[in-house]
Structure 1
């Protein structure tokens, strides 16, 4: 009896210790947080750099693992990727949306699967569900401000010029929040003055090839109309670099005959500024990994998270290019 009693007491004590012991952390158990990330594509130098930084930074986190999916600028590919992440039961879904709308159903599916969703870089708009109930936060810059910064720089650049100053605009992907907001911010400022006038505006899909193609069309149509193009506002530096090729092939000099202001802050834009072909770039922040990791840590710790984790835009005029170029990672 005594022997059996002693054995029972040992087992009871062991059970008590197990019940009292705190749960091990993810790092202690070796379990990793699985993050499914759906990227827009690889349409620009900036986008490629953003993906590279995201992969490399999260790879350094011992308790995190990134599953990366390239949507190739197609919403159907992105929807497929998000639903695959849900089936895989990832811990977090992160995506930079190709376009603003069409996400209601998949966001509802993620919510039902109890997978938190974080939207980055571009905004989404919902109609059937409340966005704040289906996403943790949005991480990204104020693209309206980026457009405003570009417009104000251009106004200052042409302050001594005679009116009118004819401006053409290369817009980003149709339906993308970044394109919608950069256009709105730029045009808001332009409408508030009388010197600069937008004479042509069209989507160049954020790509260098399309930027060149649309700029060629602008040059031909304005020539036929007897209109001189004085300036170009490009929603991405890549489109602007493509436009430079079209301008040169038309026998004109970018930076002299046509003043160019872009957005993104890619290395190619700084090289163009040094060579006198571009007047300025508005940097679009490229490192989303650090703020994303912080949001995930805060979410796990049940800390308050703002609805918008705002990243900063910075204007770089040509005179800063030589100093800044060595610091460019992309």
Structure 2
């Protein structure tokens, strides 16, 4: 078998590494299986897997913590374990999955939501209880939350009059949501004329944000700015404001996070005044790093374990139009192989770790 494989590689002119068994990855996607962001996230990961010759399987947790844990058990106790398990610390599930993984031989990578400070301390105090992490790839959520409010305020002319603000955060047990909220509050401290009337947790849901916004509008009819930690909550709030005759982008300015086609189109149309997006790409970059790890280029070769990528970037109308066109193409037309460290010098550093990729 080895001789036959060697002969096939030499005859086809393929590098020997390419003939090795494909690295297998399971992604425990915490989102809904019909949720625009998380489906797009998986799609980008799959494009990377296809480019890199990897085997990727995605299972959806449907935003249920217990379901995610059941899926993790099934993967880790199954007959055919993957080489890698990619997980998200949504609803604080990561430590329990790390505990379940101990001794399994499956390598773990966290994306999007890293461990909280308390979780990290607890794990460090009992290292034998938990499987180690290869690393964590998280976005610049705090900075995005900050920039979103900063740009939103800057979109209004300065009159010296107080400006009223409503904020829609995601889920209180999601680190990314907490960080975006922290960034928003950091920006708020720089604008004493902006008054945050209320922050509510919309659970990432359009319907819930719509219902919340209807009540908040009765309480605070003079609101001019709406900050939202994702696009679905922004659209739900927008619907409530439109129901009383207010025009988004004129009477009330809205901001959002995500680069769904609907959000991009709303930015083109001016209904969203500020949009931050690009964090759907984190899973794809994780696949590049896992591909290299499987080829012997260990992820921690630079001594790092926590990577904070500047994936969230401001999207103006022109960029939104360009991203709309690219979103219809597989993996945004990204050549993932050109980002791999394979065949490069020891000082090679992944470009997506330090700069946002300009699609």
Q: TM-score range, shorter-chain basis?
A: 0.7 to 0.9
2:90 matches 1:98: yes
The change in CA–CA distance for 1:161 and 1:48 in structure 2 (over 3 A counts) is farther
Q: 1:294 to 1:57 in 2, by over 3 A?
A: closer
Q: How many residues align?
A: 300
Q: 1:213: how far off? A: 1.9
Q: What is the TM-score with the length of structure 1 in the denominator?
A: 0.82
Aligned-pair CA distance for 1:322 = 4.3
Q: CA shift at 1:319, angstroms?
A: 6.2
Contact 1:280 1:318 in 2 (8 A): no
Which residue of structure 2 lines up, in the alignment, with residue 7 of structure 1? none
How far apart, CA to CA, are the structure 2 residues paired with 1:59 and 1:324? 21
Q: Secondary structure at the match of 2:102?
A: helix
From the superposition, tell whether residues 211 and 318 of structure 1 become closer, same or farther in structure 2 (CA, over 3 Å). farther
Does residue 86 in structure 1 map to residue 76 in structure 2?
Answer: yes
How far apart are the structure 2 equivalents of 1:293 and 1:324? 22
Q: Looking at CA atoms only, which structure, 1 or 2, has the larger radius of gyration?
A: 1
CA drift of 1:145 comes to 0.6
What per-residue deviation string (whole Å, max 9, x for no partner) do you get for residues 7-41 of structure 1?
xxxxxxxxxxxxxxxxx977535x33221110011
RMSD of aligned alpha carbons: 2.5
Cα offset, 1:74, TM superposition: 1.0
Consecutive unaligned residues of structure 2, counting only runs of 5 or more, are 1-14, 333-359
Partner residue, 1:202? 200
Question: Offset at 1:269?
Answer: 1.9
Change (3 A) 1:284 1:216: farther
Aligned to 1:117: 108
Change (3 A) 1:102 1:290: closer
Match for 1:257 among 251, 257, 260?
251
| Separation in 2, partners of 1:71, 1:307 | 25
TM-score by length of 2: 0.76
Q: Tell me: CA distance 1:284–1:28, structure 2 relative to 1, closer, same or farther (3 Å).
A: closer
Gaps of 5+ in 1: 1-23
1:21-60 → structure 2 map (5 Å cutoff): 27-28=18-19, 31-42=21-32, 44-60=35-51
Displacement of 1:265 after TM fit? 2.4
How big is each residue's C-alpha offset from its partner over 1:206-259, in whole Å with a ceiling of 9 and x where there is no partner? 122222222112112224xxxx11100010112112221111112211111111
